[in-house]
């Protein structure tokens, strides 16, 4: 969280990319939470990450990441996912 608070999102996004295919549900939640926190500070960066990865993301990760989005934006990401 310290990286995110200091505006350093590169490590967070690298870590999120590495953990996208992890099998553990708690990791899915944590990655979604980290992405949501990035989005609070730089929404365009979060959306760019999601645009690139949302098709392979676990549903839980995506739901956490888009929690603060408008309903229309949520639907954009959720309707294509499984």
Task: Tell which residue, 29, 19, 26, 41, has the closest CA to residue 65.
Answer: 29
How many angstroms separate the CA atoms of 53 and 55, rounded? 6
Paired tokens of 15: 């870590």
pLDDT at 81: 54
How many angstroms separate the CA atoms of 9 and 42, rounded? 9
Q: 43-60: buried (b, 16+ CB within 10 Å) or exposed (e) per residue?
A: eebbbebbeebbeebbee
Phi and psi at 70, nearest 5°, equal: -65, 160
**pTM for the predicted model, two decimal places:** 0.89
| Mean pLDDT of each 10-residue bin along the chain, 82 residues long | 84 94 95 96 96 93 96 87 52
């Amino acid at each position: 969280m310290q990286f995110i608070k200091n505006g350093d999102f590169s490590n967070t996004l690298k870590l999120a990319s590495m953990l996208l295919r992890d099998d553990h549900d708690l990791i899915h939640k944590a990655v979604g939470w980290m992405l949501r926190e990035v989005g609070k500070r730089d929404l365009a960066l979060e959306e760019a990450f999601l645009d690139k990865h949302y098709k392979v993301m676990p549903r839980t990760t995506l739901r956490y990441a888009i929690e603060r989005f408008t309903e229309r934006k949520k639907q954009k990401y959720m309707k294509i996912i499984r």
